[in-house]
Amino acid sequence: MSMITRSKHACFGGIQGFYTHDSSSIGLPMRFSVYQPPQAANGPVPVVFFLAGLTCTEETFMVKAGAQRVAAELGLMLVTCDTSPRDIELPGDRENWDFGVGAGFYLDATTQPWATHYRMGSYVLELRDFILANFSASADRVGIMGHSMGGHGALTIGLKHPERFQSVSAFAPIAAPSECPWGEKAFSRYLGDDRSSWRAFDATALVEDGQRTSALLVDQGLEDQFLPNQLSPDRFESACRGAGQALTLRRQSGYDHGYYFISSFIADHLHHHAQLLR
Ligand SMILES: N[C@@H](CCC(=O)N[C@@H](CS)C(=O)NCC(=O)O)C(=O)O
């Protein structure tokens, strides 16, 4: 199988599609989805990857964020992937909603039994190349954004690969995962107990360690139920300030962690990417 089209839908003059392909980095079939704006019919367009949060799938953002209307206006392709491998069952992978299935944390695990298939860090790069090879997307105009666990993924992958992702943004990212319960649980199981190996998957540590990317946009709801214990935008902000990494961190009063928050500000994020990918 190179690619199976599961469904296709006309959407704001473009095409919303859901697909499955064989992933070499995961070693299993993976699902993804693509919104092709109307402009893609006339030639390559900029493309923005969205990495979703815990418990989500490749469908969640496309169904809930309301991004396609603005993407069609701006001529942006949108791509989402799943949040973990699914076509395999490993011991303990379904016992917790914040670890295992639906919680791949966009990293390559180094401990067994996870290391063989839980390679979501490499998978995001593989999917980027797959999209550039199979859809009408411009190789030098690629952005990445995400939410919560996916915000962590977008910031870390964006910071590590500025040549592959020219624009980066996040909604309520897990911004210092080495220091929060979600991150400690996932990293100790996927990466082991040596905390020095965690720094490569922690956006705050990456900025402290010298990684840089284009000007960042981050939105954080102030009524987010996970803000007090899991997200640490202040730590990320001070790391960026100390390191000279450009960051616009907007604290949005009244907004919680969910997709109503994302749908309220998705247009600003798409404009941010469109401007940098022009
Ligand atoms: N299942 C968890 C919540 C998980 C959750 O909030 N996931 C976020 C990402 S971290 C999300 O986007 N969920 C999907 C949705 O809101 O539609 C719970 O019961 O507290």
pLDDT in tens, 87-138: 999 999 999 999 999 999 999 999 999 999 999 999 999 999 999 999 999 9
Q: What is the pLDDT of residue 13?
A: 98
Query: What are the beta bridge partners of residue 34?
Result: 17, 79
Q: Residue 216 belongs to what H/E stretch?
A: strand 216-221
Cα 203 vs. chain centroid, distance in angstroms? 13
Active-site residue 148, yes or no?
yes
Any atom of ligand 1 within 6 Å of the Cβ of 148: yes
Range 47-66 average pLDDT? 98
- Among residues 82, 202, 219, 224, the one annotated as catalytic is 224
Mutational pocket test of ligand 1: of 50, 51, 55, the residue with most ligand atoms within 8 Å of the beta carbon = 55
Residue 1 amino acid letter? M
**CA 258 to ligand 1: nearest atom:** 16
**Predicted local confidence at residue 225, as pLDDT:** 98
268 catalytic, yes or no? no
Does 21 participate in catalysis according to the annotation? no
| For the CA of 64, the nearest atom of ligand 1 | 17
Whose alpha carbon is nearest atom 11 of ligand 1? Answer: 53
Mean model confidence pLDDT for the chain: 98
Q: How far is the CA of 216 from the centre of ligand 1 (A)?
A: 24
Model-level ipTM above the cut of 0.90? yes
- Can you give the pLDDT at residue 1? 67
Q: pTM here?
A: 0.98
State if residue 56 touches ligand 1 by the CB under 6 angstroms criterion: yes
| Atom 9, ligand 1: residue with shortest CA distance | 53
Q: Is the peptide bond before 181 cis (omega within 30 degrees of 0)?
A: no
DSSP string of 81-136, one letter each residue: E-SS--SS--TTTTSBTTBBTTB-TTSB--STTTTTT-BHHHHHHHHHHHHHHHSS
**Confidence category of residue 2, pLDDT binned at 50, 70, 90:** confident
Q: Is the CB of 54 under 6 A from ligand 1?
A: yes
Does the beta carbon of 60 lie inside 6 Å of ligand 1? yes
Average pLDDT estimate for 138-146 = 98
CA of 123 to the centre of ligand 1 (A): 22
pLDDT of residue 230: 98
pLDDT tens for 148-182 read 999 999 999 999 999 999 999 999 999 999 999 99
Backbone torsions φ then ψ of 163, nearest 5 degrees: -75, -20
Q: Give the rounded percent of residues in the chain with a pLDDT score beyond 70.
A: 100
Average pLDDT (54-59) is: 98
Q: Is 168 helix (H, G, I), strand (E, B) or coil?
A: strand
190-243 confidence digits (pLDDT tens): 999 999 999 999 999 999 999 999 999 999 999 999 999 999 999 999 999 999
